Amino acid sequence: MTVYDTAFSATTASPVFFDEEHQMLRDQVRRFVETEIKPNGLQWEEDGMVPRALFRKMGEIGFFGIRYPEEFGGSGLDHRATIVWAEELGRSTFSGVAIGALVHTDMASIHIWNAGNDEQRRKWIPKCISGEAVSAVAVSEPGAGSDVKGITTRARRDGDDWVLNGSKLFITNGVHADLYCVAAKTDPEAKPSRSVTMFLVEKGTPGFSVGRQLDKHGWRSSDTAELVFEDARVPATNVLGEEGRGFYEIMKNFQNERLVIGAMAMGEAQVALEITLDWVKGRNAFGAALWEKQAIRQRLAMLAARVEACRQMIYATGRRAALGEDVVREVSMIKALAGELVNEVMYDCVQFHGGMGFMRESTIERMSRDARVQSIGGGATEVMLEEVAKRM
């Protein structure tokens, strides 16, 4: 066990911010990572997907329901549980697996809970919790990523249906999801913030198809797709929330999403430091371990300090979010800071691994590729900094 792991074990992680049930969840997720994800992760990287059986197993254990009420089959925990869940999945070193699960729990199905009516919740939430149904959220398009108001997918009313036309891109779980939370413009003449509506689109809907599975730089074990809507007919009962309020629903959940991505990134950064610490202590150069080189150990020490500072901000913000406080400014800071910091950590960890850090057989090489998107997905760093600047 490394000094980092000792300092941040499942039983000592910030009791100021976490209760005993959160610590128990951390232990449980960490065991699952060791027994179910790590032994199979390399094969899933080759396959470009994780098997549905893994999602079912996660659901059976209860991981997919940690934030939902017990009456729906959940555990009724708060934002802090989400942070634990995301951080421990980030520590798995297989972030493609992590993001697939996190999109389902905290970026897609949560839209049904936040905006759905009672019938929609009772139909879908138990299936999402059990892992019977996998969900995806479809907002990004070829010409609109962080700029949600710029989406061009259209939906027009036709009797008791809405007819969708357009495409979505970079959709995690896009190939294998059963249910998609899709953003489309329903009133192009309205002001941008009132022109978007969210729809529940089920797999098999006529006119809806997966265009292609995308070939990515990192997150290789998550399936990511282009979605195509060609006169896709969706029942009016599948409108998610109020017509014209989709932009606000998306913005509302972005805060949860960015907190989750920040926690995941710090899990990745932490384990990368642990792996690299072990490497530099065991690797000799010029008659001594790399750890004996002052420049290396001081650089790792500074990175460890910055990761710990970012983690503590995430914990504090999660606690405030659990209390219902407005944390838009803080989660925007977290998304920008964590996304940049995890890439800085990975850059130096690859450097200190030397030639081995450049080899595909190296864990740190895979992690460095996975981390690159953390400053892009869920809100690019530049967009996040503008959100912070608005509130200064």
User: CATH code at 273?
Assistant: 1.20.140.10
User: CATH code at 31?
Assistant: 1.10.540.10
Q: How far apart are CA 103 and CA 136, in angstroms?
A: 7
Residues of the chain with pLDDT under 70: 1-14, 145-146
Give the tokens for residue 384: 């996040």
- 332, 237: one domain: no
CB 365 within 8 A of CB 352: no
Question: Where a domain ends, among 108, 134, 160?
Answer: 134
Name the DSSP class of 104.
I
Paired with 390 in beta bridges are none
Please give the mean pLDDT across all residues of the chain: 93
How many domains would you assign to the chain? 3
Question: Where a domain ends, among 103, 134, 165?
Answer: 134
- 207, 181: one domain: yes
- 54, 185: one domain: no
10 Å CB burial of residue 382 (0-12, 13-18, 19+) is exposed
Provide the pLDDT for residue 14: 62
pLDDT by residue (tens digit) across 244-286?
999 999 888 888 999 999 999 999 999 999 999 999 999 988 9
- 117, 180: one domain: no
Q: How many C-alpha atoms does 101 have within 13 Å on its Cβ side?
A: 32
Q: Which residue has the tokens 């080759």?
A: 46
- 299, 315: one domain: yes
- 374, 306: one domain: yes
Question: Where a domain ends, among 89, 108, 134?
Answer: 134
* Amino acid letter, residue 328: V
- 147, 174: one domain: yes
- 200, 254: one domain: no
Length of the chain: 392
CB 74 within 8 A of CB 67: yes
- 265, 214: one domain: no
User: CATH code at 232?
Assistant: 2.40.110.10
Give the tokens for residue 369: 């590729």
- 286, 168: one domain: no
Structural domain of 161: 136-244
Provide the pLDDT for residue 10: 38
Q: Widest CA span of the chain, in angstroms? A: 79
Which residues are known to be catalytic? 257
pLDDT by residue (tens digit) across 22-49?
999 999 999 999 999 999 999 999 999 9
* Amino acid letter, residue 91: R
pLDDT by residue (tens digit) across 356-391?
999 999 999 999 999 999 999 988 999 999 999 999
Provide the pLDDT for residue 189: 87
